[in-house]
A and B are shown apart, each in its own frame.
Chain A
Amino acid sequence: MSSTHPAHLHLAVALDGTGWHPASWREPVARPRDLFTAGHWTDLVQEAERGLIDFVTIEDGLGPQSSHFLDPDDRTDQVRGRLDAVLIASRVAPLTRHIGLVPTVIATHTEPFHISKAIATLDYVSTGRAGLRVQISARPHEAAHFGRRTIARIEAYDSPDAPAVLRDLFDEAADHVEVVRRLWDSWEDDAEIRDAATGRFIDRDKLHYIDFEGPHFSVKGPSITPRPPQGQPLVTALAHDTVPYRLVARAADIGYITPHDTDRARAILAEIRAEQETAGRAGETLHVFGDLVVFLDDDPAEAAARKDRLDALAGEPYTSDARIFTGTPAQLADLLQEFQSAGLTGFRLRPAVAGHDLPAITRGLVPELQRRGAFRRAYEADTLRGLLGLPRPANRYAAA
């Protein structure tokens, strides 16, 4: 099942429009008019697959992108608008064979019942390569798109009123993930029996009500979709603070963190591992990946110059929660291995310009890591869990 090499690191690529730099769409390689076509996404994911990348994540949101923290803007000089990430992943699935597909889902306003069957179905159409990245929305204007509740406006993640609001949203997200996971297990693997003698298509004793009750929703189950090929598709989350670290430790298979140096990486890892133990998951594999924005060129000066040029087009220097790297593939390989020595098991790279920095990852960074014996030379598992060394889990409802 596990085919991972201990010295190997894992690589994911985070896809967001034409790239993570807000001026990335201005680059000649960007083809921004194709952004809302299947071809744009197929090309990117197939390029990532050529580089033997573990999986791609796909950003999403229940409102237009914005340059403000929690408010909408009226800018016309940046990409606005996006397609549903789960459906992008599904559209690409039949056109790829090995790479994992991990769309973002917003827990705050969506139905866990719908999300569970959507990701289960993504797992079917990709024959075992699905996951999700769970995210909250603290944006009051996105709540107004649904009209079901109001979300108190906070100034920043570190403002005094933030913890109560965020804790509630993350608690809801944890419940959301719990329901999604229970529904994936609500059918045992061998529930379909097609027993001609008794006329029964299923053994209903192998279907289970999940009977979840929480403050934001109650869900009866079982799912309408049978248990997906991986049993449990991958659950991942980006985390910047104690509350989300706890969500990662309790509910996720992979957490993405944003340390800017190895000391910080060690500190965050210690916190997550402690929470993991508290959650009773000490024996389970929980990957912690570092997130990095990357500008990659063969000449480090060119990478820095490219960032400057894009910043000038954007009218301001690009800032990010994640460390921003400019340099050569070899320099990036050095940095990743340094972080790896601090305990990170993989990285989610955010290409600043998808059309440039993704091929630089697959054709520059990957061969460099392979030369160092730090990355796979072929896909060696059929499922995303397999690529990440995660076993196919037993069903929580199956009799032992």
Chain B
Amino acid sequence: MSKPLKQIHLAAHFPGVNNTTVWSDPKAGSHIEFSSFVHFAKTAERAKFDFLFLAEGLRLREQGGKIYDLDVVGRPDTFTVLTALAAVTERLGLTGTINSTFNEPYEVARQFASLDHLSDGRSAWNVVTSWDAFTGENFRRGGFLPQDERYSRAKEFLSTAHELFDSWRGDEVVADQATGTFLSDAKAGAFVHEGQHFDIHGRFNVPRSPQGRPVIFQAGDSEEGREFAASSADAIFSRYATLDTGQAFYTDVKSRLAKYGRRPDQLLILPAASFVLGDTDAEAEETAHEVRRRQVSGATALKHLEWVWNRDLSSYDPDGPLPDIDPLPGEHTVSRGRAQVRMYRDPLATAREWRELAAANNWSIRDLVIETGNRQNFIGSPATVARTINEYVQADASDGFILVPHITPGGLDDFADKVVPLLQEQGVFRTDYEGTTLRDHLGLAHPDTVGEERAAS
């Protein structure tokens, strides 16, 4: 009991375009009007959260050759809405998911440097990759990238962006009206990058921003993704929010840092986590069950089954038994634009396991999808949820959580009002922001000082 208490990091994920978001709730508001984003961001800032998080997908999902219509569809442009939110918040970090496949480094670096200037140092970039020709149909490049090159492109994209950010040291704009010297260095912004994916040179046109570079997030879970994070990221947006899977992931990734000359505290592990609150634990359990039923309608259950079966199952009764036929082997063709499908690596085995589960419990298709789907991570009274979150963080299951409410935009309100004060009382969450930048909130050094730290250690 010598270890000091870790401080918890908390972030707010704007409810996304998947079935965890319950749009049919009477309290559910718009997913696109700016007022919803303002409400959500202000709640997060009132609760002194580290940052707001936005996901992204660049092609509307399809299933069975048609646009998927059962979940929330439609979202804003990430940079544009985050920059607008900078105007209505003062300290909250602003994290955007931006694809490294269907963008170019010069433009993305300009946008993040601009966001960082316009938010006084609150920007973060969740670097994601894709390779599919399906998404590529919306872009100049089309489906140009083999799957096994996506991380090599992402790594080079990020290092190229860093070269652009670093092409300004930060002291060039002197703007001396008396002498007429605007820039102290005629070559400010000069860069040359020659690589496998990018061969570019010239002058970057945004002076160095308050954070130097945006905070870098990484979300991929593959071996390559973990190495990418260990070598280059400041934080990981992971999906391991249970105690045991979280601890395993935490240990694995943090142990990879040493070979890159990095300390464990230079990479934060922040899993996505859902929650349901109630006045009592029993009431919360009841609500959580009800929410899961709303998240999985009969129609949704059939669609989820198709992700495993890789067949059109629309003729099945969601309240009836699982299909007797086996999943269609080979390449998945039913669902497009959905990453979860790749989780089912052995569909035949999954189908067998699910049939056995359903038979043993007398579950319908819908029951099966509800019961095998993700249970909310934190369910209980505010005291229970606060205690559990703190236990998980102190036990190194994570450094905090990116909370994903199921209601837009008010789904964070109760957490802010009832759970955060308890964490503050326990001395494990800030009662006010101590710094101004997102790096300050996350305890990350400014990139200009990281090199000095390494040299000194």
Q: Residues on A close to B: CB < 8 A?
A: 23, 25-28, 30, 32-33, 35-38, 61-65, 72, 74-84, 86-88, 90-95, 109-111, 113-114, 117-118, 120-122, 124-125, 127, 141-142, 144-148, 187, 192, 194, 196, 198-204, 207, 216-222, 224-226, 313
Contact = CB atoms under 8 A, between A and B. Distances in A.
B290 interface: no
Q: Which of B59, B103, B114, B115 has the most CB of A within 10 A?
A: B114
A146 B106 contact: yes
B189 A125 contact: no
Nearest to A196: B24
B189 to A, nearest CB: 6
A83 B138 contact: no
Nearest to B185: A76
A224 B299 contact: no
Interface string B97-125: 00000111011001101110111100000
A79 B202 contact: no
Contacts of B187: 74
A265 B48 CA distance: 57
Name the residue among B32, B38, B75, B120 with the largest chain A CB count within 10 angstroms: B32
Contacts of B202: 63, 72, 141-142, 144-145
A32 B175 contact: yes
Nearest to B76: A121
Interface residues of B, number: 75
Contacts of B67: 202, 204, 207, 222
Interface in B258-302: 297-300
Contacts of B113: 83
Given A36-B173, A144-B202, 18 more contacts: A38-B86, A38-B118, A63-B205, A80-B189, A84-B110, A87-B111, A113-B139, A114-B77, A125-B34, A144-B201, A147-B199, A199-B24, A200-B69, A218-B137, A219-B137, A219-B138, A224-B59, A224-B74
A127 B77 CA distance: 15
A78 B80 contact: no
Given A91-B84, A145-B202, A201-B70, A124 B175 contact: no
A201 B182 contact: no
B184 interface: yes
A94 B60 contact: no
24 contacts: A26-B177, A30-B177, A32-B175, A35-B173, A38-B117, A64-B205, A80-B205, A81-B189, A82-B206, A88-B114, A93-B87, A113-B58, A117-B76, A117-B80, A144-B201, A146-B106, A146-B107, A147-B200, A148-B104, A203-B69, A207-B60, A207-B73, A219-B139, A220-B137
Select the residue from B102, B186, B201, B203 with max chain A CB neighbours within 10 A: B203
Nearest to A96: B87
B111 A84 contact: yes
B140 A216 contact: yes
A201 to B, nearest CB: 6
B181 A125 contact: no
Interface in B31-78: 32-34, 38, 57-60, 66-67, 69-77
B87 A80 contact: no
A61 B294 CA distance: 48
B118 A87 contact: yes
Contacts of B66: 204
A198 B299 CA distance: 8
Nearest to A146: B104
Interface of B: 23-24, 32-34, 38, 57-60, 66-67, 69-77, 79-81, 83-84, 86-88, 102-104, 106-107, 110-111, 113-115, 117-120, 137-140, 142, 168, 173, 175, 177, 180-189, 198-203, 205-207, 297-300
Nearest to B24: A196
A121 B87 CA distance: 15
A38 B117 CA distance: 7
A302 to B, nearest CB: 20
A122 B79 CA distance: 10
B87 A38 contact: yes
B74 A90 contact: no
B300 to A, nearest CB: 7
A75 B140 CA distance: 34
Contact of A80 (B80, B111, B182): B182
A397 B184 CA distance: 54
A28 B173 CA distance: 17
Given A93-B87, A120-B77, A217 B71 contact: no
Contact of A114 (B73, B84, B103, B106): B103
B140 A111 contact: yes
B34 A124 contact: yes
Contacts of A200: 69-70
A61, A79, A124 interface centre (most CB from chain B within 10 Å): A124
Contacts of A65: 205
Nearest to A41: B118
B195 to A, nearest CB: 10
A189 to B, nearest CB: 12
Nearest to A26: B177
A108 to B, nearest CB: 11
A220 B138 contact: yes
B105 to A, nearest CB: 9
Nearest to B198: A147
Contacts of A75: 186
Nearest to B117: A36
